[in-house]
Amino acid sequence: MILPLQSLRFIFARFIFLHHFQLFRAGGASGVSFFMILSGFVMAAGYGGKVSGENFGYKKYMLKRIIRVYPLHLLCLAAFVAWHIASLTLRQYVALAPNALLLQAWIPDRSFYFSGNAVSWCLSDMLFFYAVFPPLAKIMQKDARKSARCLLGIAAIYLAACAFIPEKYAHPFIYINPLARLLDFAMGILLYYLAIGPAGCRLKIAAGKMGCAQKTLVEIFAFAPLALAVLAYPYAPPAFRLAPLFWLPSCIVIATFALLDNAGGALSCALKNKYLVKAGAFSFTFYMIHQMFINAFNSMLGKLGIALAGWEKLPLCLICAIALSYTVYRFIELPAAERLKAYIK
């Protein structure tokens, strides 16, 4: 496990929280791109070598990935239905069917892909990514440089499509659609093979010769493209700011902290803080419940007649959301996953 990347999960999950709290407009797009690219990177690290082995079982592999996401998804969906049961329309109930099966992201209609626990559209994408990961990983392992050239060509076609797609279609087809977002995931896989391969080894050797101050500067500058992308976000065309704007910044941050994991500067050391790492472990749980929690929190304040300014609500809501996420992760998600794994042979 690369500890700084685990801690960065925690930080980028809070970006998405701030986006849904309507305080950080770029938080959603930047957080989603980062997580999808990081997912490809982590999958390559954890399963890249296994998919090429003779003993690799696709069925067992997929069952493990489903167990990783499905119990929490169903729990959140059940919580959503219980909370809104009196107000849901027939059309909304119909839209919950593909949501329950994690197929909602394939339907280019907001009432479907944002049905139920709205953030679960991302799981619909991730399940597709997991399904196609083994063949993708085999291809990229075989020839990473050729794969990079191919991916650059696909990205160029994708960017050309972004320039011409009507704004009303940008969100469902650029931000949500699993086929479009597969490019983010594939970038993460390729980034692993390029950064941890021979070129990565040379970079690690070079990093080991640098002083702590130099390494810290490298780590700080790794965030510069991300900061520039955030500043450019309001001015970028809609299709570009939904995903492509954050491709390069996310790759730079992930590659930097992966390469400097064992020989990093001050930021790497800070990101190895045990509390940040533990918080990163349940960042998926936090992501899954945070939007519903924000809505429930605001609803509760309204019913109680409590009026709070944004700066007063934010820390209270965030702390409560983190506490609830940890509770769900520790006492529901982990035990459920352990029990279900026992049935996989």
The residue that leads in pLDDT, 53 or 244, is: 244
Alpha helices, H only, the chain: 3-20, 27-47, 58-84, 90-100, 110-113, 121-142, 144-164, 167-170, 178-195, 198-208, 212-222, 224-232, 238-241, 247-259, 266-271, 274-281, 283-304, 310-328, 334-341
HSE, side-chain direction, 13 A CA sphere, residue 303:
6
Q: Are 330 and 285 in contact (CB under 8 A)?
A: no
- Chain center to CA of 104: 17
Dihedral over Cα of 211, 214, 220, 226: its sign: negative
The residue that leads in pLDDT, 301 or 323, is: 323
Query: Tokens at residue 28, please?
Result: 């959603």
Average pLDDT over residues 183-188: 97
Q: What does the mean pLDDT of the chain come to?
A: 92
pLDDT at 198 (0 to 100): 60
Average pLDDT over residues 36-64: 91
Q: Are 210 and 218 in contact (CB under 8 A)?
A: yes
Report the C-alpha gap between 13 and 138 in whole angstroms.
30
Q: How confident is the model at residue 4 (pLDDT cuts 50, 70, 90)?
A: very high
User: pLDDT of 216-254, one tens digit each?
Assistant: 999 999 999 999 999 999 999 989 999 999 999 999 999
Q: Give CA separation, 86 vs 80, 89, 178, 215, in Å.
A: 11, 9, 32, 56
Report the C-alpha gap between 341 and 60 in whole angstroms.
10
For the beta carbon of residue 248, count every other beta carbon within 10 angstroms. 15
Report the C-alpha gap between 123 and 114 in whole angstroms.
12
Query: Tokens at residue 345, please?
Result: 């042979």
Provide the whole-model pTM: 0.95
Taking 70 as the threshold, does the pLDDT of residue 73 lie above it?
Answer: yes
Q: How confident is the model at residue 58 (pLDDT cuts 50, 70, 90)?
A: very high
